[in-house]
Amino acid sequence: MVTATDTAGEAAKELRALVREFGVKEIRPRVRELEEAGEFPHDLYRQMGELGFFGCCFPEQVGGTDAGYQALAVVAEELAWAYPPLSAAMNLQAATVPLTIANWGSAELVQEYVPGLIAGRLLGCNAMTEPDGGSDLLGAMRTRAVRDGDDYVITGSKMWITNANVADVAVVYAKTDPELGHRGVSAFVVPTDAPGFSTSRVPCRVLGKLMPTNEVILNEVRVPAANLLGEEGEGFKVAMSAMDYGRLSVAARSVGLAQACLDASVEYANQREAFGQRIGSFQMVKKQIADMACEVSAARALVQDAAVRYDGGIIPTRESSIAKYYAGEVCNRAAQATAEIFGGYAFSDELPISTYLNYAKLWQTGEGSANIQAVLIADDALGWKSMDRHRRPSKPEVRA
């Protein structure tokens, strides 16, 4: 007898095979060409959108596939396996930007932006972090939004904003009442062609050219009051919900990158010879590969557990944070072990090992740094502050 679980498992296998094939045929063969050209791969984003990679968590009425969060995690993992920079799309096109608009925006905003974002026709960015913000990104926020009739006028700057230079729309956070701290933050949908919105690339050689990061300047950018997400002063809630979705995606991407490290290490250990034997026969290399194999499986299980809970209808802040923290640690250990197995070849531009090292470290920071996650997890375990105290539905109530 075929059960619902069996059916879901078969669907996940088919989806994983589809994304893996796309990565092998469409991404990996073009990596060097794309990096050397330094041009943003608009065509790949559109292809991924057309294949439904970005629409997993959205209903068909806005162009989604309604496949759910387990599907999103599979796609994010496989895209990171193919090439880490391109998997950023699973945050910006499939999670943090469109889900935030779907959850908090008006029906008009949803129809204007969500279908285009998940189809890859429009590109989004999440403009939250500021030059002095860091982990205190909302409390230290200096960007202001002042009500002026039927509009808000936004002035300030953002830093480390992925894809801002190619984005069509940004979710921007600004203080509408500076006296209230994080309770005075509001969130807005801002078209990037609005007068006063400008970007400049932040040089990050170690990250390559396919995941551009930027400074954003907002010089009296005027947006309609209808572009407010939620109510005025609800920006903290909006930001936290965006981070919850983002953590699942980053955790899955970390698993995919760790799997890429494991696969590369196994292949190399079976080919490379030293002292008259394959290096896979050395006990130290065996130990490193065994650790990677075990830890990747454990991290994947944590991600899948969180995704199942999302599909159950509630955002599992605790489980997604644990998955993100542990997967990030595993990813870093895998990348370091892979570099040690490859030795001097790890630094060759012919191989992706240095890219794996750089992105493994980056993803420990994105959607909440490893140190912050550890503090939150420990406070929850100690009974001092529950991570699930603000439980929210995980499925967007799309207003069409």
Catalytic positions, written as ranges: 367
Measured between its terminal Cα atoms, the distance across the chain in Å is 39
Distance CA 220, CA 360 (A): 37
DSSP states of 128-181: ---TTTGGGTTTT---EEEEETTEEEEEEEEEEEETTTT-SEEEEEEES-GGGG
Q: Which of 330, 389, 369 has its CA nearest to residue 133?
A: 369
Q: Which of 178, 103, 198, 117 has its CA nearest to residue 399?
A: 103
- CA-based angle 214:212:331, to the nearest 5? 115
- Amino acid identity of residue 73, one-letter, is A
- Residue 397 burial by Cβ neighbours in a 10 Å radius (0-12, 13-18, 19+): exposed
